[in-house]
Amino acid sequence: MLAFRGHFLTKSRHYSTTFKVIRGDRRAFRLAETLDRLGLAADTIAVVNVWDFTGLATATTQNKNSPPQSPPASAKTANTNTTRRTTMSAKLLTIEDLSAHLGIPKNTLYQWRTKGYGPAGRRIGKHVRYRPEDVDSWVEQQGTA
């Protein structure tokens, strides 16, 4: 290793083989070994991939040939469009918004989050957002303590 002046991974290809070749040889050897153990020849193996769409995974188990089930009575009476609209209209607070709202430095909010203290935050991608309802309920709990 020292005769090549440096680390064994950085030595010239003129002196030695590459790891890509070694991995390829190992793969070929293991394949031949497995085929020999199974009693098969390498040219007799055919890989066929057929993908069929069988359906979407849902919470209810329903045969795709059976008729669709009607929703429960409670779901029929609830107006889901109104509920969704009110949920979507509520603005989520950023850490800066929460800091300005509570009058607390951002670093304190970050420390509280790591310790599990403070209002419950939700991760959306790489961002942390706070629901105003959670912030208000947390503030009310702090007043009673």
The percentage of the chain sitting over the pLDDT mark of 90, rounded to a whole number, equals 17
CA distance 56 to 108: 44
Q: Which residue has the higher pLDDT, 11 or 23?
A: 23
**Domain chopping of the chain, boundaries:** 2-44, 87-144
Q: What is the mean pLDDT of the chain?
A: 75
Q: State which amino acid sits at residue 11.
A: K
Closest CA to 134 of 80, 98, 105, 100: 98
The three-class DSSP label of residue 95 is helix
Q: Which of the two residues, 21 and 57, has the higher pLDDT score? A: 21
Report the top-level CATH class of 87-144.
Answer: mainly alpha
Per-residue DSSP letter, 93: B
Integer CA distances (angstroms), 107 to 80, 100, 112, 131, 140, in order: 39, 12, 9, 19, 22
Q: What is the pLDDT of residue 71?
A: 59
Q: pTM for the whole thing?
A: 0.39
pLDDT of residue 11: 57
Instruction: Report in angstroms the alpha-carbon separations of 67 from 52, 62, 64, 123.
Output: 22, 9, 8, 38
For residue 26, the model assigns a pLDDT of 92
CA gap 71, 140 in Å, rounded: 37
